[in-house]
Amino acid sequence: MYPIKRMPRSEFTPIRNLNYHVQVWGEPAPDKTPMVLLHGWMDVAASFQFMVDALSHDHYVIAPDWRGFGQTASGGADSFWFPDYLADLDGLLDHYAQGEKVNLVGHSMGGNVAMIYAGVRPERIRRLVNLEGFGMPATQPSEAPGRFAHWMDEVKALHQGEKAPRGYDSAAGVAQRLMKNNPRLGADKAHWLAQHWAQEGADGQWRILGEAAHKIVNAQLYRLDEVLEIYKRISLPVLMVEASDDSMAAWWKGKHTLAQHHERMRFVPQVEMARIDDAGHMLHHDQPAQLAALIERFFAAD
């Protein structure tokens, strides 16, 4: 089992009628800018443990489980809406960093949330690190009717039990799933993650702590023109970190490419690009030491 170096504490904070679970490392201090870590889709806050352990300095680190993930319940939602993540983050910063700027790090979906939030509330962020938050393929208005129909069909399927999460016989089975998804993930990290990424139910089956409704397609189209207008308003330094493996090619099959993503980054006024070698999409698992050093160097700059 992976040996933790920096022990987190687990807190529950009321945010927008939900009891938000938050992992906290370190203590607040006048000379520490809070570091806020936002996990990705079908992940949990504890996923950042390896990267936090690799930090060379003492930081005050705050990492929430997004609604419907980890130990944060959704309140029975059968759909999830991107704007809710923005308002949840706003409430989180009200609680943990009222009146001060934070250093924000977002991975994948969390990186997309961080980018939009930074363009809407730039005054609340000192610096931002986006870890493989590539956005979504551009859409056309003509896709809207089909998208709404698709969404309604999937909501119906959810209530008919067709999207029930898969069960595993043990935490070891969950660890095997994690290593299958990411061949670079060692057994020690996988078995540690499995205890946080999944939970044993009353039937003895282990299930991932991500509510099934997260797998329902978004009813709203991804409006690229709106996103780029928001990017233009990010008035703070941004570090865009990519892994050496091009995960976009596997995900989108040409619908959204790394080259297109780089074109979008040209709309961000202050952006630096960086790459982590020998890493895939879960770069905070694959190369936590490289990533921690990169983040600390970026946050240390004036």
Per residue of the chain (302 residues), what is the pLDDT tens digit?
899 999 999 999 999 999 999 999 999 999 999 999 999 999 999 999 999 999 999 999 999 999 999 999 999 999 999 999 999 999 999 999 998 999 999 999 999 999 999 999 999 999 999 999 999 999 999 999 999 999 999 999 999 988 778 899 999 999 999 999 999 999 999 999 999 999 999 999 999 999 999 999 999 999 999 999 999 999 999 999 999 999 999 899 999 999 999 999 999 999 999 999 999 999 999 999 999 999 999 999 97
Q: How many CB atoms lie within 10 A of CB 152?
A: 12
Nearest to 220 by CA among 296, 136, 134: 136
Burial (0-12, 13-18, 19+ Cβ within 10 Å), 77: middle
Q: Are 209 and 70 in contact (CB under 8 A)?
A: yes
Question: CA 73, 75, 77, 82 torsion: positive or negative?
Answer: negative
CATH top-level class of 1-138+222-302: alpha beta
Spatial separation of the C-alpha atoms in residues 92 and 176, rounded to whole Å: 33
Helices vs strands, H then E, count in the chain: 11, 10
**Domain residue extents for the chain:** 1-138+222-302
